[in-house]
């Protein structure tokens, strides 16, 4: 009987300790290091960007950057002591590191998002990355470019490979930014695509496609399959400067349409859009950029991050995908 | 060709033919045995292939059933959102060591594809068409891959959950690894042609080490199988490099030709065996021919020597030695022939003696007849004259002197005639031996022609001498030769009573000279030509019939040859060849 009483007393004590610990964990506190991983390996700290409320303390090009909390930050000192960023980490590695507790905040691709374990927090921005096909100068026949634009089944890619992240788009800028993106057609029309290239010689119908981001290789493969239905022979090749078509991503760094359009056009190698002051003119400018099918917008994608359970105070990103680590704190060591 | 050569040839041909026949039969038997053995080996490989095919098929079926029974497959079948499982096929295929694995929804849309992940969402109509996959084994199928098509052994199983259905189609490609698993006897190889394109593609022809470099050579055979859809046999290459291929069609699930299995068997062993046999046959044939030569020498020594002796004896008979005989050795056919030959020559000698005797009698008779005829003519006037003289003496004595004078004159004339006749006979009987000298035949002809010139002119005959300037001097008796020529010329004159042309021609011969005397007279019949040189034979109303006999005798004494050519009504040519 004594022993039973002793066991029950131990259980009650343990429950009280856990309850006390849980109450302490929900409260912000200073200190700790946030371990962040990213695919990018920018050449300079400026390109990487400095999280708000922190100052760069260590920079190892292409590998690691450490930011320390700025005591004199405008919004007050961040809770975190340091933010350590590991660069050039593949999405797969980042996901594994998150699972193993080696990283606190990682980027998530669609596949990683699908495999994400329980208890992980996901932060998603608005669609701020344009995924598009960009033709090189060798593909001179507009029919071939248009045929590829009509062959791509964006819906299947969006629902399966992108796990419905972001949105399907035929426009350079996202719907949330312009309000007219839905006017740009994004639907596939394989019979028309086939008709466009029906009379062309095999050489003209053969293209090479390079995905700049290895994680987009599956999308490139799918585009190749779609292209085959239209009579185009698209071979997916490793990223190189001489591919006929490139599957690229362009970030939308501004929340105002004219600047965003100019930035995206420059990123895709398109002409500078004409100056415009009204939504009608912005639409016309964007329409003119897309004429000739030099660039084929496919999707508007958000930035998605996964955070470990010990990270609190999120979300750690803004709707434009910028880091907001000043409001975060971490539990435990 | 001599009998010996012929015999040698017959022996050689007989030996060569016999050896050739033996070689042919042995080669044929060897080839049959080789081909029978090859057929057994091919059958064994085909069985092995079928067995391996079946084993792999069962393995694939078992694996696919395992996949269908897995929790992952069940989750996919249950899940309303198939897009979450787009990568599952790859993982499952890797775990289960399958080259191909597709998870296909009930409507035929690919949920996940291991071999071509980017094809998710595409429809696999062939899967939904089959009502019962559970009872079907593995089958051959053409599978589309990102970098082309592949030939694969595939099995399909289904997984049902409430109204949802999931097809699991898994398999392994039929590649060089599959071929490498076959155990092949020495000298054989197995090739697989994957019939994935309508046109022949050499790169699709593989063996255990991958695509073969000389694939295009097998194209006709493969095209034949594609056309006929049955096993085809063909041989490629020549000599020791030759290889026989058994090409078998490999059909797919819809009886479509998806591949051709080629079982190649090197003919090197057969060719080497045949070469060895040929070498042996040649050796035997050469030995046989050498033996044939020896045998033929021996046989001809036994057979042809008596025959040769017979031939020599026959030659002697032909040369005039009718009494020639042959030594009789043995009692065989040759011995019988020799006996017959000896009998024949003996008979010939006897018959010749009888003939000579008969001819001699006939000649005497002919001589007597001629003499009687020749002497009768002058005797009759003699008798008349004497009777006249007797009658005149008795009845008219006053005229006797005159009759006597005339009678004696006639008697003397007729006696002279008789003397002349006897002289001619005497001349023929006493033909002297020729006094051989170097004679210029052209000059002799010229002189003779001058002597008879007046006579020819009187007979109205035009004489023509065609003398060969190249004519060499000949050894002859000029007097006898002049007599011959004169005789022939006078004969010609007699043959042209109405006149004509006499041509005397000399011709230089390689071994002597030719003298020709031609007339344009009455000519002779063939029968007359045959008897022309017979003594006392004449076609004229006068003459003794000895002229041409004398001519022939003189020519014969000069070792020459005389011949005559004549055509009735056109003339006659006498031709004398002198050595």
Nearest to B119 among A111, A163, A225 (CB): A225
Give the number of other Cβ atoms within 10 Å of residue A185's Cβ: 11
pLDDT of amino acid A16: 41
Facing A218 at nearest CB: one of B83, B118, B121: B118
Distance (Å, whole) CA A70 – CA A280:
45
Residue B168: what are its φ and ψ, rounded to 5°? -120, 110
Q: Which residue of B has its CA nearest to A164?
A: B83
Q: Is residue B508's pLDDT more than 60?
A: yes
User: Taking an 8 Å Cβ-Cβ cutoff, which residues of chain A contact chain B?
Assistant: 111, 114, 153, 156, 159-161, 163, 218, 221-222, 224-225
pLDDT band at B544 (very low <50, low <70, confident <90, very high): low
With 70 as the cut, is the pLDDT of residue B395 above it?
yes
Q: What is the CATH number of domain B69-171?
A: 3.30.450.20
Q: Which of A97, A81, A119 is nearest to A325 (CA)?
A: A81
pLDDT given for residue A26 in this prediction: 62
User: Average pLDDT of B439-454?
Assistant: 89
For the question of whether the overall pTM of this predicted structure is more than 0.80, the answer is: no
**Two tokens at B228?**
């006929």
Residue A105 has pLDDT above 90, yes or no: yes
Pairing state of beta strands B461-466 and B500-509? Answer: parallel
Kindly state the tokens that stand for B160.
């049902």
The Cα of A154 is separated from the nearest Cα of chain B by a number of Å equal to: 12
Between the CA atoms of B543, B546, B549 and B550, what dihedral angle is there, to the nearest 10 degrees?
A: -110
Predicted local distance difference test score (pLDDT) of residue B567:
87
B175-266 matches B69-171 in CATH topology:
yes
Q: Where are the beta strands (DSSP E) in B427-511?
A: 437-439, 461-466, 474-476, 500-509
CA–CA gap between residue B346 and residue A253 (Å, rounded)? 145
Averaged pLDDT of chain B: 84
- B116: nearest CA in chain A? A221
**Among B86, B87, B118, beta carbon nearest to A224:** B118
How far apart are alpha carbons A304 and A311 in whole angstroms? Answer: 15
Which position has the higher pLDDT, B274 or A62? A62
Domains of chain A: 7-120+308-330 (3.40.190.10), 127-302 (3.10.105.10)
Are residues A161 and B119, on separate chains, in Cβ contact within 8 Å? Answer: no
Residue B506 in tokens: 């000399």
Tell me the percentage of chain A whose pLDDT exceeds 90: 62
Predicted confidence (pLDDT) at residue B428 exceeds the cutoff of 60? yes
For residue A281, the model assigns a pLDDT of 93
- Condensed to tens digits (0 to 9), the pLDDT of residues B153-207 reads 999 999 988 888 899 999 998 888 888 877 777 888 888 898 888 888 888 888 8
Which three-class secondary structure string do you get for B53-99?
A: HHHHHHHHHHHHHHHHCCHHHHHHHHCCCHHHHCCHHHHHHHHCCCC
Chain A residues with CB inside 8 Å of B84's CB? Answer: 114, 163
Low-confidence winner among A15-24, A31-40, B67-76 (lowest mean pLDDT): A15-24
* Chain segment A158-204, per-residue pLDDT in tens: 998 998 899 999 999 999 999 999 999 999 999 999 999 998 999 99
Contact yes or no for B86 and A161 at CB 8 A: yes
Q: A68 or B535, which is more confident? A: A68
In this predicted structure, the answer to whether residue A4 has a pLDDT above a threshold of 50 is no
Contacts across the A-B interface (CB distance below 8 Å): 27
Among partner residues B83, B118, B121, which is closest to A221 by beta-carbon distance? B118
- Whether domain B175-266 has CATH 3.30.450.20: the reply is yes
Kindly list the domain boundaries of chain B, sorted by start residue. 1-46+270-321, 69-171, 175-266, 326-430, 437-578
Query: Residue A2: which pLDDT band, with cuts at 50, 70 and 90?
Result: very low
Among A206-210, A294-298, B394-398, name the one with the lowest average pLDDT. Answer: B394-398
Of B86, B116, B146, the CB nearest to A160: B86
Query: For residue A1, is pLDDT > 70?
Result: no
Return the minimum-mean-pLDDT range out of A287-291, B241-245, B490-494.
B241-245
Interior angle at CA A323, CA A320 and CA A326, nearest 5: 130
Say whether pLDDT at B96 is over 70.
yes
Whole-number pLDDT of residue B3: 67
Residues of A in contact with B113 (CB under 8 A): none
Mark yes or no for CB contact A221/B146 under 8 Å.
yes
Dihedral, B548, B552, B558, B564 alpha carbons, nearest 10: 90
Q: Are A152 and A221 in contact (CB under 8 A)?
A: no
- Render pLDDT for A244-267 as a digit per residue (tens, 0 to 9): 999 999 999 888 999 999 999 999
Percent of chain B whose pLDDT exceeds 90: 16
Average pLDDT (B210-231) is 87
* Residue entry with tokens 């076609």: B539
Output the pLDDT for position B541.
Answer: 66
- Which pLDDT value is given to residue B512? 87
Q: Which residues of A touch B83 (CB under 8 A)?
A: 159-160, 163
Q: How confident is the model at residue B331 (pLDDT cuts 50, 70, 90)?
A: confident
CB-CB under 8 Å, B84 with A114: yes
Query: Is the domain defined by B326-430 classed in CATH 1.10.3470?
Result: no
Distance CA A25, CA B422 (A): 187
| Mean pLDDT in residue range A105-110 | 90
The domain defined by B437-578 folds into Heat Shock Protein 90 (3.30.565)
Q: Which of B215, B227, B228 is nearest to B262 (CA)?
A: B215
User: Residue B504: which pLDDT band, with cuts at 50, 70 and 90?
Assistant: very high
Q: How far apart are CA B310 and CA B235, in angstroms?
A: 62
On the question of pLDDT at B319 being above 90, the answer is: no
Q: In chain B, what residues touch A158 (CB-CB under 8 Å)?
A: none
Q: How far is B118 from chain A (nearest CA, A)?
A: 4
ipTM value, please give it. Answer: 0.78
Report the pLDDT averaged over residues B396-424. 83
pLDDT of residue B334: 77
Stronger pLDDT, B549 or A62, i.e. the higher one? A62
> Which chain B residues touch A161 with a CB distance below 8 Å?
86
Q: Which residue of B has its CA nearest to A155?
A: B121
Q: Which residue has the higher pLDDT, A157 or A15?
A: A157
**Where residue B61 falls among pLDDT bands split at 50, 70, 90?**
very high
Higher pLDDT, B368 or B415: B415
Which residue from A212, A192, A208 is spatially nearest to A149, judged by alpha carbons? Answer: A192
Among B160-169, B374-383, B455-464, the range scoring the smallest mean pLDDT is B374-383
- pLDDT score of A38: 93
pLDDT of residue A233 exceeding 70, the answer is: yes
* Cβ-based contacts of A152 with chain B (< 8 Å): none
């Amino acid at each position: 009987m004594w022993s039973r009483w002793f066991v029950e007393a131990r259980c009650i004590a343990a429950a009280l300790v856990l309850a006390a610990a849980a109450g302490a964990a929900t409260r912000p506190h200073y200190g700790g290091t946030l371990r962040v991983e990213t695919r990018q390996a920018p050449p300079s700290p400026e390109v990487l960007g400095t999280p708000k409320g922190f100052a760069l303390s260590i920079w190892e090009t292409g590998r690691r950057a450490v930011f320390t909390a700025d005591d004199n930050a405008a919004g007050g000192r961040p809770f975190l002591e340091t933010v350590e960023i590991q660069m050039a980490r593949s999405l797969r590695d980042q996901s594994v590191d998150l699972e193993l507790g080696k990283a606190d905040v990682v980027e998530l691709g669609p596949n990683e998002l699908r495999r994400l374990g329980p208890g992980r927090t996901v932060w998603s921005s608005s669609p701020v990355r344009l995924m598009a096909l960009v033709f090189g100068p060798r593909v001179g026949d507009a029919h071939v470019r248009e045929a590829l634009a009509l062959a791509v089944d964006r819906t299947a890619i969006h629902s399966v490979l992108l796990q419905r992240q972001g949105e399907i788009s035929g426009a350079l800028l996202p719907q949330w930014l312009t309000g007219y993106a839905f006017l740009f057609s994004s639907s596939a029309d394989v019979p028309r695509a086939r008709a466009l290239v029906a009379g062309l010689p095999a050489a003209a119908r053969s293209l090479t496609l390079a995905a700049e981001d290895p994680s987009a290789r599956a999308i490139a493969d799918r585009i190749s399959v779609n292209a085959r239905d239209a009579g185009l022979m698209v071979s997916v090749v490793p990223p190189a400067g001489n591919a006929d078509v490139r599957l690229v991503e362009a970030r939308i760094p501004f929340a105002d349409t004219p600047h965003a359009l100019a930035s995206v056009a420059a990123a895709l190698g398109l002409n500078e859009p004409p100056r415009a002051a009204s939504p009608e003119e912005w639409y016309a400018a964007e329409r003119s950029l897309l004429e000739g099918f030099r660039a084929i917008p496919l999707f508007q994608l958000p930035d998605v991050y996964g955070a470990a359970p010990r990270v609190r105070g999120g979300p750690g990103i803004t709707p434009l995908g910028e880091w907001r680590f000043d409001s975060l704190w971490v539990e435990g060591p | 060709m001599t009998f010996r050569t012929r015999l040698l040839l017959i022996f050689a041909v007989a030996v060569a033919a016999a050896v050739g026949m033996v070689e042919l039969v042995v080669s044929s038997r060897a080839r049959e045995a080789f081909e029978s053995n090859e057929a057994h080996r091919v059958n064994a490989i085909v069985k092995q292939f079928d067995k391996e095919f079946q084993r792999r098929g069962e393995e694939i079926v078992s694996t696919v059933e395992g996949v269908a029974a897995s929790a992952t497959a069940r989750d996919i079948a249950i899940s309303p959102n198939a897009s979450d499982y787009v990568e599952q096929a790859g993982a499952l295929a890797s775990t289960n060591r399958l080259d191909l694995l597709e998870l296909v929804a009930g409507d035929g849309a690919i949920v996940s594809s291991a071999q071509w992940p980017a094809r998710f969402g595409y429809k696999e109509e062939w899967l939904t068409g089959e009502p019962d996959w559970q009872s079907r084994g593995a089958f051959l199928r053409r599978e589309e891959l990102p970098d082309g098509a592949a030939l694969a052994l595939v099995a399909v199983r289904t997984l049902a959950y409430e109204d949802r259905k999931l097809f699991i189609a898994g398999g392994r490609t039929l590649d060089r690894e599959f071929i490498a698993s076959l155990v092949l006897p020495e000298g054989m190889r197995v090739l697989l042609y994957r019939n994935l394109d309508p046109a022949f593609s050499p790169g699709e022809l593989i063996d255990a080490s991958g695509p073969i470099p000389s694939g295009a050579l097998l194209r006709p055979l493969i095209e034949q199988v594609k056309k006929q859809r049955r096993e085809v046999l063909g041989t490629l290459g020549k000599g020791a490099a030759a290889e026989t291929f058994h090409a078998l069609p490999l059909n797919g699930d819809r009886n479509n030709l998806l591949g051709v299995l080629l079982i190649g068997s090197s003919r090197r062993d057969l060719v080497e065996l045949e070469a060895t046999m040929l070498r042996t046959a040649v050796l035997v044939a050469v030995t046989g021919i050498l033996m044939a030569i020896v045998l033929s020498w021996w046989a001809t020594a036994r057979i042809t020597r008596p025959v040769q002796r017979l031939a020599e004896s026959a030659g002697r008979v032909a040369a005039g030695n009718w009494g020639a005989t042959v030594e009789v050795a043995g009692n065989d056919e040759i011995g019988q022939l020799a006996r017959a030959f000896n009998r024949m020559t003996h008979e010939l000698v006897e018959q010749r003696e009888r003939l000579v005797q008969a001819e001699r009698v006939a000649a005497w008779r002919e001589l007597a007849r001629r003499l009687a005829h020749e002497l009768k003519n002058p005797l009759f006037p003699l008798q008349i004259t004497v009777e006249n003289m007797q009658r005149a003496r008795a009845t008219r004595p006053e005229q006797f002197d005159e009759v006597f004078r005339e009678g004696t004159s006639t008697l003397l004339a007729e006696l002279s005639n008789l003397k002349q006749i006897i002289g001619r006979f005497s001349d023929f009987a006493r033909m002297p031996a020729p006094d051989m000298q170097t004679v210029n035949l052209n000059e002799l002809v010229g002189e003779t022609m001058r002597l008879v010139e007046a006579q020819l002119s009187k007979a109205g005959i035009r004489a023509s001498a065609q003398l060969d300037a190249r004519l060499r001097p000949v050894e002859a008796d000029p007097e006898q030769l002049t007599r011959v020529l004169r005789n022939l010329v006078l004969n010609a004159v007699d043959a042209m009573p109405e006149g004509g042309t006499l041509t005397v021609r000399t011709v230089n011969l390689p071994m002597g000279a030719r003298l020709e005397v031609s007339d344009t007279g009455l000519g002779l019949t063939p029968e007359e030509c045959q008897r022309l040189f017979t003594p006392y034979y004449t076609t004229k109303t006068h003459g003794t019939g000895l002229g041409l006999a004398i001519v022939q005798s003189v020519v014969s004494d000069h070792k020459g040859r005389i011949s005559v050519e004549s055509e009735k009504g056109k003339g006659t040519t006498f031709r004398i060849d002198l050595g």
